[in-house]
Amino acid sequence: MEAALTVVADRTTPSVGRICHLLYETIQTETQRTTLRVLANRAEEAKRKLSLYALDRILWTLEEMNLAEKTVVPAETVRQLRAFGVPYSPDIKIPDLIELVFTAQEQFMNVEPEEVNRVPTIEELEAYFEQSRVA
């Protein structure tokens, strides 16, 4: 009579299903990290552009006032200047305020990539080319 043999899985080797699950989790985690990084980059870029736009509007207001030879800056413009850290006092001349706004804009224009030799992701390239196509 033959003895019945029981086959037991080797407990030291993970199953194929477990390996697939681990691979899936790793890919999912990296995809989420990449997505968050892309979203953060897009948010920073949007903030930079909106700040430049707002400073351009302030600049436009000041230039119009300067051409009209006005000397009193409206309270709303003063609030906007201060929101961007542009110093204001009533004794500062409008041409000097214009120069201060130009200086405030520099921080948004001189943007260096975080990682100089970093290769952009597919999402970043697609967004860049989409923006180029629309502009």
What are the DSSP calls for 27-72, one per residue? HHHHHHHHHHHHHHHHHHHHHHHHHHHHHHHHHHHHHHHHHTT--P
Total domains present in the chain: 1
What span, in angstroms and rounded, lies between the C-alpha atoms of 35 and 128?
Answer: 16
Q: What is the pLDDT of residues 51-85, one digit of tens each?
A: 999 999 999 999 999 999 999 999 999 999 999 99
What span, in angstroms and rounded, lies between the C-alpha atoms of 90 and 3?
Answer: 102
Q: Residues 102, 105, 109, CA angle at the centre, nearest 5°?
A: 125
Nearest to 62 by CA among 21, 107, 28, 92: 92
Residue 124, in any domain of the structure? no
Residue 5, in any domain of the structure? no
Residue 63, in any domain of the structure? yes
- Cβ atoms 81, 101 nearer than 8 A: yes
Whole-number pLDDT of residue 51 = 92
Residue segments in the chain with a per-residue pLDDT below the cut of 70: 1-14, 110-118, 131-135
Range of the domain at 57: 16-111
The model's pTM is: 0.58
